[in-house]
Homo-oligomer: A and B are copies of this chain.
Amino acid sequence: MAESNFFSEIFLFPLWGKMAPILATATETGAEPEMVLAGVLLSLVAIYIASKAGGEFFSWLNFPPVLGELVGGVVIGISALNLVIFPESGANSSSSVIINILEATAGLTPEAAGATFQAQSEVLDVLAELGVIILLFEIGLESNIRDLMQVGIQSLIVATVGVVLPFVGGTAGMMGIFHVSAVPAVFAGAALTATSIGITSRVLTEINRLNTQEGQIILGAAVIDDVMGIIILAVVASLAKTGEVDLINVVYLIISASVFLVGAILLGRFFNDGFVFFAEKFKTRGRAVIPALTIALSLAYIGAAIHLEAILGAFAAGLVLDNLDQKEVGRELEELIRPISDVIVPIFFVTVGTKTNLSVLNPAIPTNREGLVIAIFLIVVAILGKVICGFSVFGLGPINRLAIGVGMVPRGEVGLVFASVGSASGALSPALDVAIILMVILTTFLAPPLLRVVFGQAEEVPETSG
């Protein structure tokens, strides 16, 4: 790259290139640990600048900051600047601007570039995962388990309707209208099912609606449909691979998910007492945060190990650490988890943005056009299916059913998991793959402002009628 050489000549760094092999000990994969660290540092700088530039700009526009963080991610990601990109998008190290900067300024050798890019991406992926784990833990902490139990039956209905409608609508439409064969049609339908709890819950927190009845129903339904979504994903992926559904697997997954969630809640008292016992005894720094994180990461591990989701475990951990504001260590925890969340959660949202490839939107490329038409269909089904599910809430009086439906719209990271698994299994045609990604992008980007609008309306209603 011309600019890179220019930089290195201007700053007279050529000899550092020679020093690198002396100072670095290569790992088995050929990545230089010093270069991996340098790449992660530079990526984090880009991610933090993008998160604050986007977040503050959107906040100034009166949009949710989380949307700005996503857009900031899109700007530095695969769609525009190519600063923070990931190998699973098909990018290689030579298209990563960070890797080019490392080669120009830090003496990364071209031979080690591929392995360093791979290792750096693995680290950033885990940091983003830790970000969404901490996010869900914090949300769990802020949620009240009794409130969630009260709306439990409503959440279950909303989740079930919100899974069945888009799944049936999507699959039938793909087969009936677009004449897609059964397996990819079922995959497309399945990709419409799971709500992204992360994005909705952060927006709800930002507009101070998390602890409303609507917020709790959305949260509960998002948790439930996440579990349903993962089960459907496993079933559909095995269908795509073998052509048949392994019923024993399905039964095992359903049982393990139920045992895990119910078990975590039943053991809540034990975790809670354990946390308070240790945190009150401890005298050194991090006395409240470390025991709490240990519980959160343990449950996240169990969630990941049994092939549910790590974030479900983290959410369960936050949920069971309850009634904390009556204890000093509890208030300490709720206060101290915020700055930790402030630095790690943006990594998740910006990373989702960086992986969003807007070039699939370009209708000038013929292969995109079929995808665009299918995408429009999927987006309509995705939004309608979830919006309608909000109206399945019964007997709660003046509740904002539209807001509940809208809250279930964003597919976010869960939808992207569907797209990547489907793409990897070979079941999806490129057009269908593009269409699913478009559905994920648009539902994710539309939901936060829509959620503000529909909740804003609800807020004004009592004022007008009062």
Contacts and interface: CB of A to CB of B under 8 A. Distances in A.
Interface of A: 13, 15-16, 18-20, 22-23, 25, 27-29, 31, 33-34, 36-38, 40-42, 44-45, 48-49, 51-52, 55-56, 59-60, 65, 87-88, 102, 105-107, 115, 118-119, 122-123, 125-126, 129-130, 133, 233-234, 237-238, 241, 248-249, 252-253, 256, 278, 281-286, 289-291, 293-294, 297-298, 300-301, 304-307, 310, 336-343, 346, 420-421, 424
A19 B293 contact: no
B307 A16 contact: yes
Contact of A342 (B44, B49, B88, B290): B290
Given A107-B307, A282-B52, A297 B45 contact: yes
Given A19-B253, A248-B15, A126 B87 contact: no
Nearest to A20: B307
Contacts of A420: 25
A84 to B, nearest CB: 13
A18 B15 CA distance: 51
Interface of chain A: mostly helix, strand, loop or mixed: helix
Contact of A291 (B42, B52, B107, B282): B52
A125 B18 CA distance: 24
A65 B285 CA distance: 9
A93 to B, nearest CB: 11
A425 to B, nearest CB: 8
A285 B342 contact: yes
A306 B20 CA distance: 9
Nearest to A314: B41
A41 B137 CA distance: 14
A238 B102 CA distance: 22
A122 B123 contact: yes
B18 A249 contact: yes
Which among A41, A49, A237, A297 has the greatest number of chain B C-beta atoms within 10 A?
Answer: A41
Contacts of A19: 234, 249, 253, 307
A283 B102 CA distance: 33
